[in-house]
Structure 1
Amino acid sequence: MEDKRNIPIIEWEHLDKRKFYVFGICMTMMIRVSVYPFTLIRTRLQVQKGKSLYNGTFDAFVKILRTEGAAGLYRGFLVNTFTLISGQCYVTTYELTRKYVSRYNNNNAVKSLVAGGSASLVAQSITVPIDVISQHLMMQRKGESMGRFKVQNQDGKRMLVFGQTKDIIVQIFKADGFRGFYRGYVASLLTYIPNSAVWWPFYHFYAEQLSSLTPKDCPHLLLQAISGPLAAATASTLTNPMDVIRARVQVVLSNYRAA
């Protein structure tokens, strides 16, 4: 096991694969439930023109809750849960790539950089169609839509759980064909490959720096819990401009070709 400044790094061969996948899916699902409303708010803020609807995160949260109810914060959630599959593909690719790269270079930053980028390439190839559909569902406001497509609510009746999903899929396919489901694919790669590639090196960097600044008896779990958000904030700051472009290409801009 590789160790740097008392921070243990768990490699693929050390994992209990059964527990890893079972607990990984359960934990990812719990996290997804807690952060999804903010994912929806972020997408709407990225797509809106200026401040035409919302003045910020808190304002969007209050307005959505007031006009659409709690369910409005979870539009497209069920469809989005299918990305759990790509999440497991991401982790598997990441770990196996680290193991492969370690044959040629044992530097942890290099292994993390290459593995993170490769894992994102695999994951985004699965995720983009799900993202396109779920983001169009996120854009469905009460009686209107912020995106290119609007769910057809016939005779004022409430559609079944996946009725809206089916309607959006049909509209995307009629408008853009199969390529419509990979709209903004290149923009997604340019967002998430750099994001993942820099997240892991920054995570290990912050963990090592914190380890050198804190007492030796400081729990590793605490250092890792702090390093993760710091790395995420750094990576998101660097890639957010491309993420805005990705969201607008996938949801709004009909004059953009699906790259």
Structure 2
Amino acid sequence: MTSLKTAGATAPNRNITVFSHVKYEHLIAGISGGVASTLILHPLDLIKIRFAVNDGQTKTTPQYKGLTSAVTTIVQQEGPRGLYRGVTPNVWGSGSAWGFYFLFYNTIKTWIQGGNSKKPLGPFLHMLAAAEAGILTLVMTNPIWVVKTRLCLQYSELDLSKLPDSKRYAGMMDALRKIYRTEGIRGLYRGFVPGIFGVSHGALQFMTYEEMKNKYNNYRNVPIDTKLGTGEYLTFAAVSKLVAAAATYPYQVIRARLQDQHHDYKGSWDCILRTWRYEGVRGFYKGLSVNLTRVTPATMITFVVYENVSYFLLSFRREPTSL
């Protein structure tokens, strides 16, 4: 009886310990950073997606010779608003994804540290925390990314007229309803498998970012959680994003193609084989230059906004009282 009472008494304490590490400030700061970078750089995201799905076989889609050509063609054919197709789900997606990611990541990281933010974790544990946060975030946000991709790939009114009504979307909610009605849950989770592989992208990025911050603070002989300057955050965010993007970009091409309503692949492996057969290695890196042009400043904006907003919000938090 004593052991049962002891077990019953200690279990709630373990749960409280885990949940005590959840801080809403990371969620708000992550959302702020994601929304800010998305509103500024959405046109580059749209162009990156269109480059990624251009397999050279589908002649009905526009052909762009480069970034300048893409911007000019889109404005001529679709007007300036064409550069912001899919911006609503992108704002929702980026805001929620960054918010949840930072929330989950910092919760997991703090739990591993035992609540001591000055305790270094090392590369492996940083990657583990980031990978777990990435999987949780992907499960919650994949439907939004499917909608964003499809809205970005509605090229013009002429293109829409060639598609069945079930693949013509008036907006984010209309797309969610139609995809669910015609393709079910599976349709909302297209690209999920390569997205799982893409978790390695976030893991590499956060590991590199955290390790650079820690090494820099160790070099300065200050605690690893010491706040840095804007220039330092910008530099570390840019370098970490370049490393992760160069290493994991092919999954983004496969994911975008699986989510494209103009193509019909049997699955991830079929998409990989057909990309390799018709386009070779270069096919897996289509849109990379545009992607780097977009994601590097986007990450810099996101991380700087996140670090400063989270620091500001957390400054109001009182020291937790003992339970």
Give the TM-score category using the shorter length: 0.7 to 0.9
Say what the alpha-carbon RMSD is for the aligned residues: 3.5
Residue 204 of structure 2 is aligned to residue 198 of structure 1: yes
What is the CA distance between 1:257 and its match in structure 2?
3.7
1:208-251 Cα distance to aligned partner (Å, 9 max, x none): 6777999x9xx643222111011101101111111101110111
- Quick check: 1:117–1:197 contact (8 Å CA) kept in 2? yes
- Quick check: 1:94–1:116 contact (8 Å CA) kept in 2? yes
Return the index of the structure with the highest Cα Rg.
Answer: 2
Alignment correspondent of 1:137: 151
1:111-157 Cα distance to aligned partner (Å, 9 max, x none): 321111011101111111111111111001112449x9566899xxx
- Quick check: 1:184–1:250 contact (8 Å CA) kept in 2? yes
State how far apart, in whole Å, the 1-side matches of 2:53 and 2:207 are.
30
Alignment correspondent of 1:181: 188
Alignment correspondent of 2:278: none
- Quick check: 1:179–1:258 contact (8 Å CA) kept in 2? no
Alignment correspondent of 1:229: 238
Residue 124 of structure 2 is aligned to residue 110 of structure 1: yes
- TM value normalised by structure 1: 0.76
- Unmatched 5+ residue regions in structure 2? 1-18, 223-227, 270-323
State how far apart, in whole Å, the 2-side matches of 1:123 and 1:14 are.
18
- After the TM superposition, which residues 1-259 of structure 1 pair with which residues of structure 2 at under 5 Å, given as runs? 17=23, 20-50=26-56, 53-83=63-93, 84-103=95-114, 106-145=120-159, 163-191=170-198, 193-207=199-213, 220-251=229-260, 252-257=262-267
1:21-59 Cα distance to aligned partner (Å, 9 max, x none): 444433321111011111111000000124961112222
- Quick check: 1:112–1:201 contact (8 Å CA) kept in 2? yes
**RCO higher in structure (CA 8 A, sep ≥6):** 2
- Quick check: 1:152–1:167 contact (8 Å CA) kept in 2? no
Aligned CA distance change for structure 1 residues 234 and 124 (closer, same or farther; 3 Å): same
> Of Structure 1 and Structure 2, which has the larger fraction of its residues in helix?
2
Aligned CA distance change for structure 1 residues 106 and 30 (closer, same or farther; 3 Å): closer
1:175-216 Cα distance to aligned partner (Å, 9 max, x none): 42221111111111111x1001100121234446777999x9
- Quick check: 2:34–2:99 contact (8 Å CA) kept in 1? no
State how far apart, in whole Å, the 2-side matches of 1:243 and 1:173 are.
23
- Quick check: 1:151–1:164 contact (8 Å CA) kept in 2? no
State how far apart, in whole Å, the 2-side matches of 1:177 and 1:31 are.
31
State how far apart, in whole Å, the 1-side matches of 2:43 and 2:110 are.
36
- Quick check: 2:122–2:211 contact (8 Å CA) kept in 1? no
- TM value normalised by structure 2: 0.62
State how far apart, in whole Å, the 1-side matches of 2:120 and 2:29 are.
28
- Quick check: 1:41–1:57 contact (8 Å CA) kept in 2? yes
Q: Secondary structure at the match of 1:197?
A: helix
State how far apart, in whole Å, the 2-side matches of 1:152 and 1:172 are.
8
**Greater mean alpha carbon deviation, residues 40-49 or residues 26-35:** 26-35
- Unmatched 5+ residue regions in structure 1? 1-11, 155-161
- Quick check: 1:180–1:258 contact (8 Å CA) kept in 2? no
What is the CA distance between 1:167 and its match in structure 2?
4.4
**Greater mean alpha carbon deviation, residues 175-184 or residues 202-211:** 202-211
- Quick check: 2:26–2:106 contact (8 Å CA) kept in 1? no
